[in-house]
């Protein structure tokens, strides 16, 4: 009974929509509390190291934005975003070879919202979405609300295996999928980058089989060495492109964007109206002022130097400590290394032991659709947030946990108990 004497409901299971049945919590979100404990070294979150941002400058920019824009930042705004923000985004896109006008994009509440809006716009239950395998777990989460079938295409050091994709498309035919989602630069979680040749092949296939391509590019500017490779959107203006300020400035401002052909964008705008009316105007004015009035390129440049040092520390520690049975990717940018362990190891289980040893990482199974059963012997380890010495120590601790499980397996196997 409640305080007012009414019967207390205690079971809502029958009321939930079918779509929440298949939703899984993100391992990264679940680890958020653990990762902020001072005794834990976190290799789990893809968090930019905003501790390196000039905070006084950001405070000044924020104050100026409010003063100079007056009430505009505190009012409802256009669903598509402020014109000034869209103009800024156009100039940021020119840097990466994408020539657009403000009419080509919609500002979103982070790229994450764009993923949700796309799925909401395109996907009926049972529709096919094609992704890389593994892929961004937040994308799988966003898509899962719309109950798609997800087909994953494996990657190698050159990115998505477009030969495998071609074989699948041949089997399934034209327009078999609502869209193909890819993170060509410094893939989350795999850390690999799609080669130019594969990009060209992917675009050819997209036209031959009439499959929309969604290019998600949060990490593209975080390159440590080598020349940038053309963005898919710069080669083909039918590609839907997602951008964000999260990794080049601050995720707390939740500002991203989607570039898409006009008819698609009109639908997306309609869908966005029902989702949040419009994004935060205050965040947009702060973003405008930050990029228009500070030396953000040099701030980002020093952050990239830090990330490079940390990537180097992680790869060196992996070579030093990890067993020869393990293999890993060698990213030239972004935040992540993907480690593959012997088949018999189970990284969700390893995570519990790693936590007791003060380290977190993301088990690989979360980066595949739940039904696939893939990724259980893999892990995503992020080098973006911890200092090199801590990364080294975390890898050392992880290697001990792995060696111990491997020894246990061998003992069971030798005793004939497997
Ligand atoms: C591949 C990828 N896409 C999208 C996002 C979401 O970015 P945002 O902070 O702009 O919502 C992330 C965040 O980590 C990501 O890694």
* 113 CA distance to ligand 1 middle (Å): 9
| pLDDT higher at 7 or 242 | 242
Q: Which residues contact 80 (CB under 8 A, 6 or more apart)?
A: 86, 105, 106, 107, 265, 269
Instruction: Give the residue carrying structure tokens 């972004």.
Output: 334
Q: Which atom of ligand 1 lies closest to the CA of 245?
A: 10
As a whole number, mean pLDDT of residues 137-149 equals 95
Confirm or reject: Cβ of 138 under 6 Å from ligand 1: yes
| pLDDT higher at 31 or 128 | 128
As a whole number, mean pLDDT of residues 167-193 equals 98
66 domain-assigned: no
Predicted confidence at residue 39, as pLDDT, reads 84
* 363 CA distance to ligand 1 middle (Å): 18
Percent of the chain with pLDDT over 70: 96
Domain that holds residue 335: 17-53+298-414
Pocket test for ligand 1, best of 244, 249, 384 (most atoms within 8 A of CB): 244
Can you tell me whether residue 280 is helix, strand or coil?
coil
Which of 223, 258, 293 marks a domain boundary? 293
Q: Are the CB atoms for 118 and 131 separated by under 8 Å? A: no
One domain, residues 288 and 166: yes
Q: What does the DSSP 8-state code read for residue 132? A: E
- Which tokens belong to 41? 């070294």
Predicted confidence at residue 15, as pLDDT, reads 86
As a whole number, mean pLDDT of residues 58-84 equals 94
What end-to-end distance do the CA atoms of the chain give, in Å? Answer: 52
Q: What is the C-alpha separation between 27 and 346, in angstroms, rounded?
A: 15
Mean pLDDT for all residues in the chain: 94
One domain, residues 175 and 219: yes
One domain, residues 305 and 275: no
Q: Model pTM greater than 0.75?
A: yes
One domain, residues 40 and 135: no
Q: What is the C-alpha separation between 375 and 46, in angstroms, rounded?
A: 18
Residue 278 CB burial class (10 angstroms; 0-12, 13-18, ≥19):
buried
267 domain-assigned: yes
263 domain-assigned: yes
Which of 293, 314, 347 marks a domain boundary? 293
Q: Which atom of ligand 1 lies closest to the CA of 335?
A: 16
| pLDDT higher at 27 or 212 | 212
Q: What is the C-alpha separation between 341 and 328, in angstroms, rounded?
A: 9
pLDDT for 293-338, tens place per residue? 999 999 999 999 999 999 999 999 999 999 999 999 999 999 999 9
Predicted confidence at residue 20, as pLDDT, reads 82
- Least confident residue range of 5-19, 125-139, 365-379: 5-19
| Element holding 283 (H helix, E strand) | helix 281-293
One domain, residues 357 and 287: no
61 domain-assigned: no
pLDDT for 375-409, tens place per residue? 999 999 999 999 999 999 999 999 999 999 999 99
Predicted confidence at residue 2, as pLDDT, reads 64
One domain, residues 410 and 347: yes
Residue 169 pLDDT exceeds 80: yes
* 277 CA distance to ligand 1 middle (Å): 21
One domain, residues 276 and 332: no
One domain, residues 76 and 201: yes
- At 257, phi and psi to the nearest 5? -155, 155
One domain, residues 41 and 76: no
pLDDT band at 371 (very low <50, low <70, confident <90, very high): confident
pLDDT for 22-60, tens place per residue? 777 766 666 767 766 778 999 998 999 999 899 999 999
Predicted confidence at residue 186, as pLDDT, reads 98
Residue 192 pLDDT exceeds 60: yes
Predicted confidence at residue 27, as pLDDT, reads 65
10 domain-assigned: no
Residue 1 pLDDT exceeds 60: no
Q: Which atom of ligand 1 lies closest to the CA of 183?
A: 1
Predicted confidence at residue 29, as pLDDT, reads 64
8 domain-assigned: no
One domain, residues 22 and 104: no
Q: What CATH code is carried by the domain that includes residue 238? A: 3.40.640.10
Predicted confidence at residue 172, as pLDDT, reads 98
Residue 262 pLDDT exceeds 80: yes
5 domain-assigned: no
Q: Are the CB atoms for 306 and 95 separated by under 8 Å? A: no
What's 49-81 look like in SS3? CHHHCCHHHHHHHHHHHHHHHHHHHHCCCCCCC
* 66 CA distance to ligand 1 middle (Å): 27
Which of 262, 277, 293 marks a domain boundary? 293
Q: What CATH code is carried by the domain that includes residue 336? A: 3.90.1150.10
| pLDDT higher at 110 or 6 | 110
One domain, residues 92 and 24: no
7 domain-assigned: no
One domain, residues 143 and 242: yes
Bridge-partner residues for 340, per DSSP?
327, 378
The structural domain count of the chain equals 2
């Amino acid at each position: 009974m409640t305080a007012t004497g009414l019967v207390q409901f205690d079971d809502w299971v029958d009321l939930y929509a079918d779509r929440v049945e298949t939703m899984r919590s993100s391992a990264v979100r679940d680890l958020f509390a653990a990762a902020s404990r001072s005794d834990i070294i976190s290799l789990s979150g893809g968090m930019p190291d905003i501790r390196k941002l000039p905070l006084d400058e950001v405070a000044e920019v924020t104050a100026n934005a409010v003063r100079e824009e007056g009430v505009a930042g505190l009012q409802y705004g256009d669903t598509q975003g402020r014109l000034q923000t869209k103009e800024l985004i156009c100039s940021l896109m020119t840097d990466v070879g994408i020539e657009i006008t403000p009419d080509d994009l919609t500002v979103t509440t982070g790229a994450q919202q764009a993923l949700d809006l796309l799925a909401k716009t395109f996907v009926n239950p049972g529709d096919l979405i094609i992704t890389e395998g593994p892929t961004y777990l937040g994308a799988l989460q966003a898509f899962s609300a719309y109950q798609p079938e997800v087909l994953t295409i494996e990657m190698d050091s050159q990115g998505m295996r477009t030969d495998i994709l071609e074989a699948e498309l041949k089997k399934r035919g034209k327009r078999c999928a609502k869209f193909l989602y890819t993170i060509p630069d410094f893939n989350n979680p795999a850390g690999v980058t799609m080669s130019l040749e594969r990009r060209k092949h992917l675009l050819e296939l997209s036209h031959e089989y009439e499959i929309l391509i969604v290019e998600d590019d949060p990490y593209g500017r975080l390159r440590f060495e080598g020349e940038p490779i053309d963005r898919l959107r710069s080669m083909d203006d039918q590609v839907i492109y997602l951008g964000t300020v999260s990794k080049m400035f601050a995720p707390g401002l939740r500002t991203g964007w989607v570039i898409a052909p006009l008819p698609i964008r009109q639908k997306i705008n309609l869908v966005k109206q029902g989702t949040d009316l419009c994004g935060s105007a205050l965040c947009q004015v702060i973003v405008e002022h930050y990029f228009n009035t500070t030396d953000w390129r040099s701030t980002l440049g020093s952050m990239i130097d830090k990330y490079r040092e940390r990537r180097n520390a992680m790869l060196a520690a992996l070579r030093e400590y990890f067993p020869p049975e393990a293999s890993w990717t060698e990213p030239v940018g972004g935040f992540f290394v993907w480690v593959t362990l012997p088949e018999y190891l189970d990284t969700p289980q390893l995570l519990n032991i790693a936590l007791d040893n003060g380290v977190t990482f993301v088990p690989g199974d979360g980066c595949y659709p739940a039904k696939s059963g893939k990724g259980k012997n893999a892990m995503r380890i992020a080098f973006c947030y911890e200092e090199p010495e801590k990364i080294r120590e975390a890898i050392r601790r992880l290697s001990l946990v792995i060696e111990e499980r491997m020894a246990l397996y061998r003992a069971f196997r030798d005793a004939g108990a497997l």
